[in-house]
Structure 1
Amino acid sequence: MYEYSEECLKTFLKKQDQLFDESVAENLEEAESFLEDCMAVVVDTLEEVKDYLEESGMDVSGMSDEEIEDAAEVFALEDGSYLIVEE
């Protein structure tokens, strides 16, 4: 089981509407449970985000770094890492 930082959970709660039409979590506990259920990952760099998305079958070859950061499933965290949530 992956441990998500409090910053990660708070970021997801605050920005979950970028990926979902309605809230999937109302508090930190629900956010953690949801992220565990969908096997969300945290990676350290944008290059790792690209690698992850490519391995998941997404064609990112023509996308700029900004477009990748703006992807609905990518949540930039304050510490410079990224949370990736797949529906």
Structure 2
Amino acid sequence: MHEFDEAVLRCFLENQGQLFPEDVAENEEEAEAFLEDCMAVVVDGVEEVEEYFEEEGIDVEGNVLDADEVFDIGDGRYLIVEG
């Protein structure tokens, strides 16, 4: 089971509109349940984001940080959510 800290949950709640047309979670509890269900991951840094996309065979044109699935937590970590 994944453990998502408050910074991760807050980041997802505030920015979920970049990936979904309407909100999928209204509070941290719903956000955590959603992220666990879709097996979201938190990685440390840009290189790990790039590695994740390579390992998953996901082709991203341009900067991987511009992908809708990538959320910048703001502390050097990134949340990757496959919608």
TM-score band by shorter chain is over 0.9
1-structure distance, mates of 2:58, 2:31: 25
* Normalised TM-score (structure 2): 0.94
What does 1:1-80 correspond to in 2, within 5 Å?
Answer: 1-60=1-60, 63=62, 67-80=63-76
2-structure distance, mates of 1:15, 1:59: 22
2-structure distance, mates of 1:30, 1:23: 11
* Normalised TM-score (structure 1): 0.90
Give structure 2 stretches of 5+ with no counterpart: none
Q: How many residues align?
A: 83
Deviation >3 Å, runs of 4+: none
Give structure 1 stretches of 5+ with no counterpart: none
CA RMSD after TM alignment = 1.1
- Give the aligned residue type for 1:2: H
